[in-house]
Amino acid sequence: MKAVTVEDALRKRKFIPFDLVLDNARVVRVKHPECVMFNEAKTVAVVADGEHLHIVDLDHVSNLTMPTKRVATS
């Protein structure tokens, strides 16, 4: 995945948390736009999650998914 795709999701006017889905089915949640940094070449993203850091090679990101709103039914 290209860094620009992730950057577009980070820049949405009303930020919506999203998941980076990796080739090995691992999922990394991006909860806030300030939780992501890129290396200079923009080939690697570092995602902060509380006290943990996820180092993600963007070549291994297969999908970026956003949660869908659920409609309450009565």
Phi, psi dihedral angles at 35 (to 5 degrees) = -90, 5
pLDDT at 67: 78
CATH 1.10.10, domain 3-65, yes or no: no
C-alpha angle 44-49-50 in degrees, rounded to nearest 5: 140
pTM of the predicted model as reported, rounded to 2 decimal places: 0.83
Whether the predicted pLDDT of 45 surpasses 70: yes
pLDDT band for position 73 (cuts 50, 70, 90): low
**pLDDT tens digits, 46-67:** 999 999 999 999 999 999 998 7
**pLDDT tens digits, 9-36:** 999 989 999 999 999 999 999 999 999 9
- Using only C-alpha atoms, the chain has a radius of gyration, in whole angstroms, of 13
